[in-house]
């Protein structure tokens, strides 16, 4: 039906759209349905790019990835109850990753929900969202939309970024108000993420600790990538002369072939370093909590930590020199305090790291050769590595178990924020959402290297990729199963093993069903040709890369996290 344009009136739909636009939000990751179908339609009509997904979780993962890439909150929009819960997984994931995101969900009649009288999709969404995100708000009156959106944006990006839930009861959207009053009620968020300078004595303390170091190390995390302080981070590393280790999503902040990169000597630098400077990285499970054998205990380390979140300090071990502030300001303060006569670390240390790096890279290089069929992780990733050397503007999305672990160490990145992966939770299913956000937000070509299991969590979104004609090449490392494809059912019944999939699944035909390009690749040469063609043509492409089903190991590098039974038969 036609909506009559009444010049003097506005309503909840339009106030919400105007509030988002006023604050520079120009993309919404959406799944339509009651009560937000028209909201998406009108937003598209008003010039916002609205991408409709097939499932809310992936729209949400896209919004989170968009937040990481742009430093602006990525917005996901869903229906009530089940749609909201699907989106909430992604909102919690964004919060865990410290990425700014806003989940806007329609909700049912407040009066009915609060009396639990059984509404359509009845759920007290605000209460459920609250413990799982950084902030949660509900807007009940049209005149509060401006403030509500402003609060959501500021909460998402200020301090440690995170996810914000915004509850939009369906009835709010239809509320009308005077158009001039409406315009006046909108709020533009000024300086949403203000610089936060570290205290001078904290800087002096950090410099003291660094001066006492004989074997220093810098660890760059995805917070450093997020901060977009690329030049100053690079200056800190180069001026200090300290070897650095990028966490997976900080790869490329400095090019992985940088002479100070110690990625290929990870075990050595974690174990032998004496002072470690954490830059936007947390001492969580991904770094063995900063203690134990991997860190060379019983020898204790001193940590300097740059983080915008004061509570992060001492989360796992004592931090000798906490630097609370934004990365740009903290790194600049350190550079200034280092002064003109800064002494680089002893060459005994930097040479030892360098020679370990070179030895390991050489050892690895020989394993990446060959054109045998079926492929293994090394031969297939040798090709992907080559592609990223030749096409450094391409974004790599990466998930899976072995597919993730091997790709992280084999494929070098040479530019910042070109790698999106499973993040702090190590969650599977982020692939298609991240790939879509990467293509939409940057217009760069995207290659998503996916384990066949990881792909299964989000595979239907290849229709979304084709619908919006996005320059995404999905490469499925197909080894017929979770971890490996050769496991056996121990009962002897006809069912396949719990971790095995249909053998030789033809995933590429799914892509063809939606008008994309499908490729069945059995050799590294096939794979290489197909990826280059996909990047250069920018056509939605899915490459089914056949990997030896006996390659790889249980849970990849983190098999030790599986509990062990003492009584089960092998
Ligand atoms: P990784 O997994 O790569 O180690 P984490 O996500 O664990 O990275 O850590 C990122 C850290 O960066 C978080 O503790 C977060 O508070 C911090 N952070 C995010 N943005 C900024 C910023 N602009 N300035 C300083 N710290 C930041
Ligand atoms: Mg697999």
How confident is the model over 113-147, as pLDDT tens digits?
A: 999 999 999 999 999 999 999 999 999 999 999 99
- pLDDT exceeds cutoff 70 at 569: no
What average pLDDT does range 472-482 have in this prediction?
97
Q: What is the DSSP string of 526-548?
A: HHHHHHHHHHHHT--EEEEEEB-
Q: What is the mean pLDDT of residues 467-487?
A: 96
| Among the listed residues 286, 280, 291, 279, the one whose alpha carbon sits nearest the alpha carbon of residue 316 | 291
Distance 297 CA to ligand 1 centre (A): 25
- Residue 2 predicted with pLDDT over 80: no
Residue nearest to atom 19 of ligand 1 (CA): 223
pLDDT of residue 3: 57
Q: How confident is the model at residue 194 (pLDDT cuts 50, 70, 90)?
A: very high
Which residue's C-alpha comes closest to atom 7 of ligand 1? 282
The overall average pLDDT reported for the chain is 96
Tell me which residues have their CB closer than 6 angstroms to ligand 1.
97-98, 160-161, 221-223, 226-227, 247, 249-250, 280-282, 284, 286, 307-309, 312, 326-327, 424
Cα of 552 to ligand 2 centre, how many Å? 8
Answer whether residue 249 shows pLDDT above 70. yes
Closest Cα to atom 21 of ligand 1: 223
**Lowest-pLDDT range, 2-11, 325-334, 395-404?**
2-11
| Distance in angstroms between the alpha carbons of the first and the last residue of the chain | 65
As a whole number of angstroms, the distance between CA 179 and CA 11 comes to 8
- Is residue 404 within 8 Å of 421, Cβ to Cβ? yes
Question: For strand 9-11 and strand 176-178, is the pairing parallel, antiparallel, or unpaired?
Answer: antiparallel
Which band of pLDDT confidence, cut at 50, 70 and 90, is reported for residue 252? Answer: very high
Which pLDDT band, with edges at 50, 70 and 90, does 498 fall under? very high
What digits encode the pLDDT tens for the residues 36-47? 999 999 999 999
Ligand sitting nearest the alpha carbon of 485: 2
Model confidence at 301, pLDDT cuts 50, 70, 90, reads very high
DSSP-derived secondary structure for 387-408: HHHH-TTPEEEEESSHHHHHHH
CB neighbour list of residue 479: distance below 8 Å, 6 or more residues apart: 451, 452, 485, 547, 548, 549, 551, 552
Does pLDDT of 4 surpass 60?
no
pLDDT tier for residue 27 given thresholds of 50, 70 and 90: very high
Beta bridge partners of 475: 449, 543
Closest CA relative to residue 412, chosen from 548, 290, 303, 254: 254
Q: Which of 64, 159, 223, 286 to mutate to test the pocket of ligand 1 (most atoms within 8 A of CB)?
A: 223
Our mutation pick for probing the ligand 1 site, out of 290, 307, 326, counting the most ligand atoms within 8 A of Cβ, is 307
402: closest CA among 194, 553, 281? 553
Which residues, 6+ apart, have CB-to-CB distance to 466 below 8 Å? 511, 514, 515, 516, 540
Look at residue 570 in the predicted model and tell me its pLDDT: 57
Helix, strand, coil percent content, the chain, rounded in steps of 5: 45, 15, 40
For residue 549, the ligand closest to its alpha carbon is 2
Q: Are 431 and 458 in contact (CB under 8 A)?
A: yes
Which residues are near ligand 2, the ion (C-beta closer than 5 Å)? 451-453, 479
Tokens of 187: 């709020």
pLDDT, average across residues 267-295: 97
- The secondary structure of residue 36, as a DSSP letter, is T
The mean pLDDT value for 11-32 works out to: 98
What average pLDDT score do residues 8-14 get?
97
Residue 2 region by backbone torsions, left for phi larger than 0, else alpha for psi between -120 and 50, else beta:
beta
Q: What is the ipTM of this complex?
A: 0.93
Query: Does position 453 have pLDDT exceeding 80, yes or no?
Result: yes
CB 182 within 8 A of CB 15: yes
Q: What is the pLDDT of residue 560?
A: 86
Cβ proximity of 38 and 67 under 8 Å? no
Question: 72 by DSSP, 3-state: which?
Answer: coil
Q: Which atom of ligand 1 is nearest to the CA of 249?
A: 3
Give the residue whose CA is nearest to atom 22 of ligand 1.
Answer: 326
On the question of pLDDT at 322 being above 70, the answer is yes
Nearest to 244 by CA among 208, 270, 210: 270
- DSSP helix/strand/coil, 463: helix
Does position 219 have pLDDT exceeding 90, yes or no? yes
pLDDT greater than 60 at residue 1: no
**Residue 26 CA from chain centroid, whole number:** 20
Kindly report the protein residue whose alpha carbon is nearest to atom 5 of ligand 1.
281
Q: Which two tokens stand for residue 211?
A: 């001066």
Nearest-atom number in ligand 1 for the CA of 226 is 20
400 pLDDT band, cuts 50/70/90, is: very high
Q: Does residue 6 have a pLDDT over 80? A: no
Percent of the chain with pLDDT over 90: 93
Is it the case that residue 556 has pLDDT exceeding 80? yes
Q: What is the pLDDT of residues 68-116, one digit of tens each?
A: 999 999 999 999 999 999 999 999 999 999 999 999 999 999 999 999 9
Q: Ligand 1 atom closest to Cα of 250?
A: 3
Q: Tell me the backbone φ, ψ of residue 172, rounded to 5 degrees.
A: -65, -40
Q: What is the pLDDT of residue 333?
A: 98
pLDDT bracket for residue 439 (50, 70, 90): very high
Report pLDDT digits (tens) over 268-280. 999 999 999 999 9
Residue bearing tokens 């609205």: 50
Ligand minimally distant from the alpha carbon of residue 248: 1
pLDDT of residue 370: 85
Residues 146/19, Cβ–Cβ less than 8 Å: yes
Q: Which phi and psi (to 5°) does residue 67 adopt? A: -60, -45
């Amino acid at each position: 039906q036609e909506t009559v344009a009444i010049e003097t009136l506005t309503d909840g739909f339009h106030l919400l759209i105007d509030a988002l636009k006023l604050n520079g939000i120009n993309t919404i990751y959406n799944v339509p349905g009651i009560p937000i179908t028209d909201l998406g339609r009108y937003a598209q009509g008003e010039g916002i790019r609205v991408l409709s997904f097939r499932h809310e979780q992936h729209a949400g993962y896209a919004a989170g990835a968009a937040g990481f890439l742009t430093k602006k909150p990525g917005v996901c929009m869903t229906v009530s109850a089940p749609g909201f819960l699907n989106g909430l997984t992604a909102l919690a994931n964004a919060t865990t990753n410290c990425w700014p995101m806003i989940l806007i969900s329609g909700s049912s009649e407040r009066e009915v929900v609060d009396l639990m009288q059984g509404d359509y999709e009845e759920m007290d969404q605000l209460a459920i969202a609250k413990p799982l995100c950084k902030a949660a708000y509900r807007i009940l009156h049209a005149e509060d939309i401006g403030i509500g959106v402003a609060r959501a944006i500021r909460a998402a990006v200020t301090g440690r970024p995170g996810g914000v839930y915004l509850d939009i009861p369906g009835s709010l959207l239809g509320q009308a108000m005077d158009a001039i009053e409406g315009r006046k009620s909108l709020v533009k968020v000024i300086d949403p993420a203000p610089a936060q300078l570290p205290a001078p004595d904290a800087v002096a303390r950090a410099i003291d600790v660094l001066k006492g170091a004989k074997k220093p190390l810098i660890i760059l995390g995805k917070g450093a990538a997020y901060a977009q302080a690329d030049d100053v981070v690079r200056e800190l590393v180069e001026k200090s002369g300290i070897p650095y280790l990028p966490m997976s999503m900080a790869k490329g902040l400095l090019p992985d072939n940088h002479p100070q990169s110690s990625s290929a000597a990870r075990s050595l630098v974690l174990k032998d370093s004496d002072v470690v400077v954490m830059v936007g990285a947390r001492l969580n499970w991904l770094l063995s909590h900063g203690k134990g054998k991997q860190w060379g205990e019983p020898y204790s380390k001193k940590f300097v930590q740059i983080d915008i979140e004061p509570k992060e300090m001492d989360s796992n071990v004592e931090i000798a020199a906490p630097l609370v502030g934004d990365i740009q300001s903290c790194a600049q303060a350190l550079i200034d305090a280092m002064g003109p006569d800064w002494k680089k670390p002893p060459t005994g240390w930097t040479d030892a790291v360098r020679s370990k790096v070179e030895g390991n890279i050489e050892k690895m290089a020989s394993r990446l050769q060959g054109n045998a069929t079926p492929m293994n992780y090394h031969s297939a990733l040798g090709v992907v590595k080559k592609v990223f050397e030749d096409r450094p503007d391409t974004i790599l999305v990466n998930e899976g178990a072995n597919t993730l672990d091997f790709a992280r160490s084999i494929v070098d990145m040479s530019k910042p924020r070109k790698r999106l992966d499973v993040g702090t939770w190590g969650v599977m299913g982020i692939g298609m959402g991240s790939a879509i956000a990467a293509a939409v937000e940057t217009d760069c070509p995207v290659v998503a290297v996916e384990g066949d299991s990881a792909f299964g969590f989000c595979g239907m979104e290849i229709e979304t990729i084709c619908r919006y004609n996005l320059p995404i090449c999905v490469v499925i490392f197909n080894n017929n199963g979770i971890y490996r494809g050769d496991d056996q059912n121990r009962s002897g019944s006809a069912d396949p093993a719990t971790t095995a999939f249909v053998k030789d699944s033809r995933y590429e035909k799914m892509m063809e069903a939606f008008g994309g390009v499908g490729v069945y690749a059995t050799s590294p040469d096939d794979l290489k040709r197909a990826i280059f063609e996909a990047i250069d043509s920018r056509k939605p492409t899915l490459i089914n890369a056949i990997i030896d089903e006996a390659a790889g190991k249980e849970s990849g590098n983190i098999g030790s996290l599986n509990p062990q039974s003492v009584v089960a038969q092998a």
